[in-house]
Structure 1
């Protein structure tokens, strides 16, 4: 687990923390064994990953990781650093839609790609 967040993670965290967004609780650097995810709402079964430049070389790892998290009933949305830093309103809109689309009785295993 990293001890510091990236600027993009910090920016998104400021918009989501303390139930500020859609009255949902998000946590950061959340452990969903054996993974540590950037941001998560366990109640909504939603994971948000903010991918930096290094992730372009890790597509296979990210795909396996996403499949594993989805097998646990989570939905995973990935955003790039430029998405978050340059268009936070659009990122929040995508997250709000994912929260609205979440089934109330059963978690979705459908992966979602950010922007």
Structure 2
């Protein structure tokens, strides 16, 4: 995987997003922060090229998105899919969860992330 440039122009917007997170994003961040998930460090509202992703773990090449209500519109779904395809072309992998899903069943969300980590470690390090 090559270096994905940090876009300094998105720094203020990224900070604004962190300060206006959804409940699901906050709950998931409480589980991901400070290497609490199998020792991996995640960034929150991370600028990757021209985009900002909800959560990013560089060693795992993993982007996690928590989709709130506005992600259900057809237009936003097309934009999300396009953005995801561009980032996947850079070697990144995506996990997507609905905000409601994170709020109502955080344990299942964490289990899905742990499954990704287990699969990644089995394929990447062997």
Q: TM-score range by the shorter chain?
A: 0.7 to 0.9
1:59-93 deviation digits (Å, cap 9, x = unpaired): 11111011011001010111001110000000000
Please list every run of at least 4 consecutive aligned residues from structure 1 whose deviation after the TM superposition is greater than 2 angstroms: none
Provide the aligned length of Structure 1 versus Structure 2: 105
- Unpaired runs of 5+ residues, structure 1, are 106-115
What is the CA–CA distance in structure 2 between the aligned matches of 1:83 and 1:22, rounded to whole Å?
Answer: 22
Equivalent of 2:61 in 39, 42, 45: 45
Equivalent of 2:96 in 57, 78, 84: 78
| Within-5 A mapping of 1:92-111 | 92-102=110-120, 103-104=123-124
- Unpaired runs of 5+ residues, structure 2, are 1-12
Between structures 1 and 2, the one with greater helix share: 2
Equivalent of 1:9 in 25, 48, 55: 25
TM-score (structure 2 length as normaliser): 0.80
What is the CA–CA distance in structure 2 between the aligned matches of 1:15 and 1:56, rounded to whole Å?
Answer: 25
TM-score (structure 1 length as normaliser): 0.87
What is the CA–CA distance in structure 2 between the aligned matches of 1:100 and 1:19, rounded to whole Å?
Answer: 16
1:65 equivalent in structure 2:
83
What is the CA–CA distance in structure 2 between the aligned matches of 1:43 and 1:34, rounded to whole Å?
Answer: 20
Cα offset for 1:4? 2.1
CA RMSD for the aligned pairs?
1.0
Structure with the greater alpha carbon radius of gyration: 2
